[in-house]
Amino acid sequence: MTLNVATLLRESATRHADRPALVLGDSTLTYAALHAMAQRFAGGLRGLGIAPGQHIALLLPNVPHFTIAYFGGHTAGTPVVPLNVLLTAEEIAYHLEDSDAVALVVWEAFLPQARSAFDRVDGCRHLIVARADRADASAPEGAVSFGALVTASAPVTDLPATMPDDTAVILYTSGTTGRPKGAELTHFNLFFNAHYVRTRLVPLDAGTVSLGVLPLFHSFGQTVVQNATLGAGGTLVLMPRFEADGAMGMIQKHRVTLFAGVPTMYFGLLHHPDAGAYDLSSIRHCISGGSAMPVEVMKAFDAKVGVDILEGYGLSETSPVASFNTLDRPKKAGSIGIPIDGVEFRLEDEQGRPITEPHTPGEICIKGHNVMKGYWKRPDATAEAVRDGWFHSGDVGTRDEDGFYFIVDRKKDMIIRGGFNVYPREVEEILYAHPAIAEAAVIGVPHPSHGEEVKAVVALKPGHPGVDADALIAHCREHLAAYKCPRIIGFMEALPKGPTGKILKRELRR
């Protein structure tokens, strides 16, 4: 049996050739045009000598080029590595090197940091530059034009015979220890996760109009918005950057029926001073994930817009959808719902024993068709995360008598800021690289719109009294994407420690 996630686009292009697939501003791509461009992009990759099984990295915002390259890569049999567009040159180079990417497709606005990273990685041989004008054949020296590649290449019309368990996408996710690692998601992982969203979670069809404001490089936007919408034959209205008034304008103009976002976005839509000036009545379904939705925000948005926000849970390692509140039973505000079809949850105690009693906290462990193949080139990390088929999430939850799950804590110290994961150790390592820092700890603190804000608590070495918060934040910005950088710096003479000398973050949170 073969399977390729590109069949989502191919089948919709066959059924709905002349219907709009992608909209960005005043530009529209039909399914026929989008499919043809993806096939030609695949031909362009082959023309560059990129063989099936080799990896291509995408540093693209929410523009049609992302979707063309994404499905074009699958059509060529080349797994894609979507990268966060906020990464620094140093971070991009690490991802290119670690993923063994042989090509980098980059949006022109990100070319300076991309070029710097590309030049550091010998194994990455092709730099493909995408511009707003898709027909623009110009390219910087040593690079290839995305437009020229698509225009001049013969299409690949036959999908490769990829197996369901072949790697389709490598999504990088950090951890509390070490550097980011790539979760290998298979064609089956991605195909079936999108199939669940469009057939079971919410009914999507050719009349669906989705607002694509979640980053497509992230698993949430990729599966729940892009793949589910295109698999259903609907229209995806792209928005490269979320702004509440702009999003409401798009919803009104295009009669958007599906809105998926992180809680920060719902907060912004709900509290924008001009919210009452926009007609949001076309929205039929709302989906929330990425971080916990405040119950009061959910209730207020539901009442204002006349919808029923469905909140769920997942991780990059689970493709990402793992559980959700569903339309066929009353939702429970504050709950992440029940496991999706074909997926099992269980809670484990500190000794790895299953917990059966209701309302008893334990680590959420997940088994099913959505669990990743493993971490790229990290067998030890894979063996630690996936044991006997159960993926250990690191999140602590409870289960009630009805089988609904609730997140109560995180076993790991991860911070979720505006839907983006921030891993304290990565930030702490950058802080420790500053010559004035003696001790550093990074924690999340509550924030009314972002969910959590990044706060660093530091102790300075003697002789550095002039170092202030602005200097430390500027230091972090030189080495980290902006969303990872602390906005708040606390100073102490010494950080609290336990008997073994470990810094006690619980004391800092308290």
Query: Does pLDDT of 150 surpass 50?
Result: yes
Check whether domain 7-188 has CATH 3.40.50.980, yes or no: yes
Q: Which two tokens stand for residue 134?
A: 């898709």
Q: What gap in Å lies between CA 182 and CA 188, rounded to an integer?
A: 17
* Residue 6 one-letter amino acid: A
Q: What gap in Å lies between CA 364 and CA 187, rounded to an integer?
A: 25
Question: Percent of the chain at pLDDT above 70?
Answer: 97
Q: Chain-wide mean pLDDT for the chain?
A: 94
The 3-class SS string of 353-387 reads CEECCCCCCEEEEEEECCCCCEECCCHHHHHHHEE
**Residue 497: its pLDDT value, please?**
82
- 3-class secondary structure, 274: coil
Check whether domain 415-509 has CATH 3.30.300.30, yes or no: yes
**Residue 336: its pLDDT value, please?**
96
Q: What gap in Å lies between CA 370 and CA 397, rounded to an integer?
A: 19
**Residue 421: its pLDDT value, please?**
82
> Domain map of the chain by residue range?
7-188, 189-370+385-410, 415-509
For residue 399, list its beta bridge partners.
405
Order across the sheet with 437-447: list the strands. 437-447, 451-460, 488-491
Q: What gap in Å lies between CA 160 and CA 153, rounded to an integer?
A: 18
Encode pLDDT of 499-509 as tens digits. Answer: 555 688 888 88
Q: Is 473 or 439 the better-scoring residue by pLDDT?
A: 473
Query: Does pLDDT of 411 surpass 80?
Result: no
For residue 411, list its beta bridge partners.
none
Per-residue DSSP letter, 426: H
Per DSSP bridges, beta strands 362-368 and 343-348 are antiparallel
**Residue 426: its pLDDT value, please?**
85
Query: Does pLDDT of 267 surpass 90?
Result: no
Q: Is 280 or 290 the better-scoring residue by pLDDT?
A: 280
Encode pLDDT of 438-469 as tens digits. Answer: 889 999 999 988 899 999 999 998 888 779 99
Per-residue DSSP letter, 189: H
pLDDT confidence tier of residue 175, bands split at 50, 70 and 90: low
Do the domains 415-509 and 189-370+385-410 match in fold? Answer: no
Q: What is the average per-residue pLDDT within 123-128?
A: 98
Query: Does pLDDT of 205 surpass 90?
Result: yes
**Residue 176: its pLDDT value, please?**
46
**Residue 316: its pLDDT value, please?**
95
Q: Kindly report whether the peptide bond that precedes residue 61 is cis, defined as omega within 30 degrees of 0.
A: no
Query: Does pLDDT of 177 surpass 60?
Result: no
Question: Percent of the chain at pLDDT above 90?
Answer: 81
pTM: 0.89
Q: What is the average per-residue pLDDT within 78-105?
A: 97
For residue 453, list its beta bridge partners.
445
pLDDT confidence tier of residue 174, bands split at 50, 70 and 90: low
Place of tokens 């608590």: 457
Encode pLDDT of 12-71 as tens digits. Answer: 999 999 999 999 999 999 999 999 999 999 999 999 999 999 999 999 999 999 999 999
Q: What is the average per-residue pLDDT within 333-356?
A: 95
pLDDT confidence tier of residue 143, bands split at 50, 70 and 90: very high
Query: Does pLDDT of 134 surpass 70?
Result: no
**Superfamily for domain range 189-370+385-410:** ANL, N-terminal domain (3.40.50.12780)
Residue 409: exposure state from Cβ atoms within 10 A (0-12, 13-18, ≥19): exposed
